[in-house]
Amino acid sequence: MRFFLAPIVFVLGVLCMKYSVQITDQFSGRIELAEKYLGGGIAAGTYTWWKLFGLAMCVLSVLWLFNKLPGGGTF
């Protein structure tokens, strides 16, 4: 199952990084915690949070695909 889902999660992570502005405009608006700790203004805060979230999705999906997650990585 992970050989099918991990590449899909990886692609979703890349899309989160690429379309962070559109995701923010369409769905969530500003994330106050991200604005506070990641900085405010243009190209910071919420957009950076979406990029970091997408990067984490990519890294975790690759680790899951190769069964390198701590605890076995089975669901």
Q: What's the pTM?
A: 0.85
Query: Could you tell me the two tokens for 68?
Result: 């390198």
Render pLDDT for 12-60 as a digit per residue (tens, 0 to 9): 999 999 999 899 889 867 888 888 888 876 668 889 999 999 999 999 9
Q: How many CB atoms lie within 10 A of CB 40?
A: 11
Of 45, 47, 54, 49, nearest in space to 15 by CA: 54
HSE-up (13 A, CA, CB side) for residue 10: 13
Of 72, 23, 9, 29, nearest in space to 51 by CA: 23
